[in-house]
Structure 1
Amino acid sequence: MITFFICVGVLIVGYYSYGLICERIFGIDRNRPTPAMEMADGVDYVPLPRWKSFLIQFLNIAGLGPIFGAVAGAMWGPVAFLWIVLGTLIAGGVHDYFSGMLSLRNQGKSFTEITGKYLGRPLMQVMRVLTLVLLIMVGTVFFVGPAQILAGLSGTGWMSVTVWSIIILCYYLLSTILPIDKVIGRFYPIFGAVFLTMTVALWVAMVYGGLPVPELSISTLGINQHIHPEKFPAFPMLFITIACGAVSGFHATQSPLIARCLQHEGQGRSVFYGTMVTEGVVAMIWAAVSMSFFGGIRELNVFMDERSGNAAMAVNEICTGLLGRLGGILAVIGVVVAPVTSGDTAFRSARLLLADIFNLGQRALKNRLLLAVPMFCLAYGISLMDFGVIWRYFAWTNQTLATVVLWTVTAYLINAGKNYWIALIPALFMTNVVVSYILIAPEGLSLPHGFSYSCGIAVGVGLLLYTFWYIYRKGKYVVSVDNR
């Protein structure tokens, strides 16, 4: 368990060090009016206190990803710990902080519009489609998953997955069209307390139960412990599987919601970078519990393989096994709350994105219904597909979006004369990941691994050369971290 505690410690130290570096590079101005103060409309632009903004942002991004993704990622072994820590601090934290702050500086606009500003209108149109698809898929995944868990818990025939799906969708509709402080701002603090209580309870049970959490070492670092290592190589599969809890494009779709609620720019580091670090800790706990609860990594792999990779079954088994029936119910409720509080804001973000695209004001309720109702009909249709297929495509779309966001942040930093390396390095890495994945994966092209890796490297090198050419053309050479 030494590796686990070291990793959690690094995450906490990283918030106070690397997070501060991000803040200094961006160059905050505490006296600059925020969209919440200048554009308050009582619906989406509503000033909220820091603690409430933190909880809303955390619950927005902490859906099934840091739970289901960490459980599935644990199948590769302790190398998952390394990705969670490095991904959170160097990629995810940078991604979340700058996407949130750029939205804050641009009237709380969706990040698709910000992409158009820095990477051009053609890519903005691509981002609009990609983001809208991702948001609807997230909303779908995050009501199907909880519906499956609740149907299993209810134990009654009439409370089926379909019935629970309809109940959750009705809640989603209300949270999508009502002012943000009426449902989300009112209930999220309660949901947040339940979710964090569940996470802490599992951590305490793991520590005091003496579960044998595997240690990360040079020998385990080079071993793929997945039950199907040939079909699922650690690179790039692990980096797609653990998205939320490391780096996730979905977070950039949620940041504008809270960028419209912050009272000053000084709140950005805790609300954006801080929630990413908190999610990283959640992913660490679930990865560690998953590797140890079933008796080891091999046993986890057997359990997951026999159940077609259904992480919901593993979550239910872990919660009831570690915390007993009553504690297990509380824990499962927390697992249900997490995705529900991401699904509702996914649909809300999709509504705001469509409003930006069609330039349709959202003060009138009829305008909100006009955009929301067709989305829910489409989401219900998608939910009838196989959940495993939806999840895999969601994961790749999610990481592709994160890659584009990191390139957008890189372009912003170059044009602003700031240190662009902080975004360029993770952008290059994620480019290699998403290109390699779609070429290797069964749901992709299923091409040979060597060829796929070569293509990923080639695309990354090409974009790096273009970046250097762009910098040369602009005459910008930035090396100082404190350059503002």
Structure 2
Amino acid sequence: MITFLVSIALLIIAYFTYGKFIERMFGVKEARPTPAYSMKDGVDYIPMGTNRNSLIQLLNIAGVGPIFGPIMGALYGPVAFIWIVVGCIFAGAVHDYLTGMISIRNKGAHLPQLAGKFLGKFMKHFVNVVAVLLLLLVGTVFVTAPAGLLYNLFNGWVALGVITAVIFIYYIFATMLPVDKIIGKVYPILGALLLVSAIGVGGMLLVTGAEIPELTLANMHPAGTAVFPILFITIACGAVSGFHATQSPIISRTLENEQNGRKVFYGMMIVEGIIAMIWAAAAMSLFYGTDLNELIATGGAGLVVSEVAFTLLGAIGGTLAVLGVIVLPITSGDTAFRSARMIIADYVNVSQMKIASRLWIALPLFVVSFILTQMDFTLLWRYFGVTNAALSAIALFVGAMYLAIQNKFHWVATIPATFMTMVSLTFIFSAPIGFGWAMPTAYLAASIGTILVLGLFAYKVKLNRAIENFELDEEVNKAA
């Protein structure tokens, strides 16, 4: 219990300390018009209040990742707590803040555009492909996961295919309509449900005096299972997630003032880290040991969610908690498709003012996603995990470059970017879905690859610094 409480305290303290440090180093300009005003279009660029933006950002980034990931990561034991805290404070929250704020400074640009500007044209095309692939995987995963939870909640009396179809229909409307019509109005309510469910589970852990394991290196996986890199792939959204870099521009286009960025971007990542801590602790305390292995093997992380919710909160409270969990993937899936539409539209330079222009981009995405729902969920999750980790490294390198060009302390982003590069490459070289090499060989190859990437980054920093009057922040028009 002490490890759990200290971890929560560290996350909260970090928002007021390290988060403030990152904000000051970035350099907020309160008088600078944000894209919500300078590019207002009534569809994607619409000013919205800070509290509403905060809840929308939280729901955008917090899919099943901060719940399913920590539950599966709990099999590694309390060492998962370390990764959630350290990753969230020094990697995830920095990642979210920098990508969100740099997007604001560049007219609400998405990650592919930012990668092209700061890392080179090749990276623009590469990140476009990776980002759209990730968003398709996210959208698909976040259809199948809530559909399965709802199917279980309804005891099977509503067909799984019907539930899946209803979620897809909702996604189509949320993707196509202006951001303030569904997302802006419904998300604050759903966000409250999410927070209440997380607080309910966390509160009951304290009230019941749950035996949450203290910090050890115990690993509940079979002997020989390596913690690195799988733990860092499994627990992503609760620590650091490239998916977030695709979501931040949605809010970058609705933020009213730059001074709200720390609360919306850094702060909501801290909240997500707390949610991840609660579910990891619940899984460890209630099912520590072989029980958790067996439960996940039987019904996946979704079964653990149901068992935790109903055990701690009873029938009514458990139902509300499960609904809160269901809200997460649905409200990330819809914005995943929305982000994919916006990224493709920006790439091909097609205005999104007309609904027909949104339709011909969005519909093919849903067709591909429907086809992907026929794949095995576990396999989808693995592809999602490694793509997610790789994109987080790229996004952090974008933030590092932005700081490096100004001769600021870019290591706050470069160090986590380098670490996530090592994680991604090691997984690719060692995993069966990758090269399948033995771990020693994979470690060596990943180390060489990471050094090469870091060298290329240093070379690009030198080139960008040599460009006279490098346009870090694009000029904006005054608000109408």
- Into which bin does the TM-score normalised by the smaller protein fall? over 0.9
Q: Distance in 2 between matches of 1:329 and 1:33?
A: 44
The Cα of 1:176 is off from its aligned counterpart by 0.5
* Superposition map of 1:349-364 within 5 A: 349-364=339-354
Amino acid at match of 1:303: L
* Superposition map of 1:318-333 within 5 A: 318-333=308-323
- Residue 439 (structure 1) aligns with: 429
User: Quick check: 1:269 aligned with 2:259?
Assistant: no
- Residue 293 (structure 2) aligns with: 301
- CA RMSD of superposed structures (Å): 1.4
Maintained 8 Å contact 1:227/1:298 = no
- Residue 359 (structure 2) aligns with: 369
Q: Render the CA deviation track for 1:362-399: whole Å, top value 9, x for unaligned.
A: 11111111111111111111001111111111111111
Amino acid at match of 1:436: T
- Residue 470 (structure 2) aligns with: none
Q: Distance in 1 between matches of 2:460 and 2:364?
A: 42
- Residue 59 (structure 2) aligns with: 59
Maintained 8 Å contact 1:198/1:334 = yes
- Residue 43 (structure 2) aligns with: 43
The Cα of 1:475 is off from its aligned counterpart by 7.1
Q: Distance in 1 between matches of 2:113 and 2:43?
A: 20
Name the SS for the 2:17 alignment partner: helix
Q: Distance in 2 between matches of 1:342 and 1:472?
A: 38
Choose the corresponding residue for 1:411, options 396, 401, 407: 401
Choose the corresponding residue for 2:221, options 205, 222, 227: 227
- Residue 7 (structure 2) aligns with: 7
Amino acid at match of 1:228: P
Aligned residues: 466
Amino acid at match of 1:192: G
* Superposition map of 1:133-172 within 5 A: 133-157=133-157, 159-172=158-171
- Residue 379 (structure 2) aligns with: 389
The Cα of 1:474 is off from its aligned counterpart by 6.7
Q: Distance in 1 between matches of 2:117 and 2:33?
A: 21
Q: Render the CA deviation track for 1:328-369: whole Å, top value 9, x for unaligned.
A: 111111011111010000000011011101111111111111
Q: Distance in 2 between matches of 1:252 and 1:469?
A: 24
In structure 2, the CA distance between the partners of 1:137 and 1:180, relative to structure 1 (3 Å rule), is same
Amino acid at match of 1:201: G
Larger deviation: 438-447 or 72-81?
Answer: 438-447
Name the SS for the 2:334 alignment partner: helix
Structure 2: state its 5+ residue gaps: 467-480
In structure 2, the CA distance between the partners of 1:135 and 1:471, relative to structure 1 (3 Å rule), is closer
Q: Distance in 1 between matches of 2:427 and 2:324?
A: 31
The Cα of 1:406 is off from its aligned counterpart by 1.0
- Residue 420 (structure 2) aligns with: 430
Q: Distance in 2 between matches of 1:396 and 1:460?
A: 15
Q: Distance in 2 between matches of 1:461 and 1:74?
A: 31
The Cα of 1:297 is off from its aligned counterpart by 3.4
The Cα of 1:313 is off from its aligned counterpart by 1.0
Amino acid at match of 1:255: S
The Cα of 1:14 is off from its aligned counterpart by 0.6
Q: Distance in 1 between matches of 2:48 and 2:134?
A: 27
Q: Distance in 2 between matches of 1:313 and 1:353?
A: 35
Choose the corresponding residue for 2:454, options 447, 460, 464: 464
Amino acid at match of 1:373: L
- Residue 482 (structure 1) aligns with: none
User: Quick check: 1:247 aligned with 2:247?
Assistant: no
The Cα of 1:256 is off from its aligned counterpart by 0.3
Maintained 8 Å contact 1:227/1:302 = no
- Residue 472 (structure 2) aligns with: none
Q: Distance in 2 between matches of 1:335 and 1:453?
A: 36
Maintained 8 Å contact 1:147/1:164 = yes
- Segments of 4+ moved more than 6 angstroms: 473-476
Amino acid at match of 1:22: I
Maintained 8 Å contact 1:74/1:297 = no
Q: Render the CA deviation track for 1:283-327: whole Å, top value 9, x for unaligned.
A: 000000000112x234212322344xx111111111111111111
The Cα of 1:456 is off from its aligned counterpart by 1.7
Normalised to the residue count of structure 1, the TM-score between the two structures is 0.94
Amino acid at match of 2:354: A
- Residue 174 (structure 1) aligns with: 173
Maintained 8 Å contact 1:57/1:275 = yes
Structure 1: state its 5+ residue gaps: 477-484
Q: Distance in 1 between matches of 2:223 and 2:186?
A: 43
Q: Distance in 1 between matches of 2:57 and 2:101?
A: 13
Q: Distance in 2 between matches of 1:446 and 1:464?
A: 24
The Cα of 1:226 is off from its aligned counterpart by 3.0
The Cα of 1:132 is off from its aligned counterpart by 0.2
User: Quick check: 1:289 aligned with 2:244?
Assistant: no
Q: Distance in 2 between matches of 1:405 and 1:365?
A: 30
Larger deviation: 58-67 or 318-327?
Answer: 318-327
Q: Distance in 2 between matches of 1:411 and 1:395?
A: 25
- Residue 469 (structure 2) aligns with: none
User: Quick check: 1:379 aligned with 2:369?
Assistant: yes
The Cα of 1:469 is off from its aligned counterpart by 4.7
Q: Distance in 2 between matches of 1:160 and 1:438?
A: 37
The Cα of 1:461 is off from its aligned counterpart by 2.2
Amino acid at match of 2:169: C
User: Quick check: 1:196 aligned with 2:195?
Assistant: yes
User: Quick check: 1:212 aligned with 2:243?
Assistant: no
Amino acid at match of 2:56: I
Q: Distance in 2 between matches of 1:445 and 1:95?
A: 28
Amino acid at match of 1:270: K
Amino acid at match of 1:274: G
Q: Distance in 2 between matches of 1:123 and 1:264?
A: 30
Maintained 8 Å contact 2:104/2:252 = yes
The Cα of 1:473 is off from its aligned counterpart by 6.4
Amino acid at match of 1:168: I
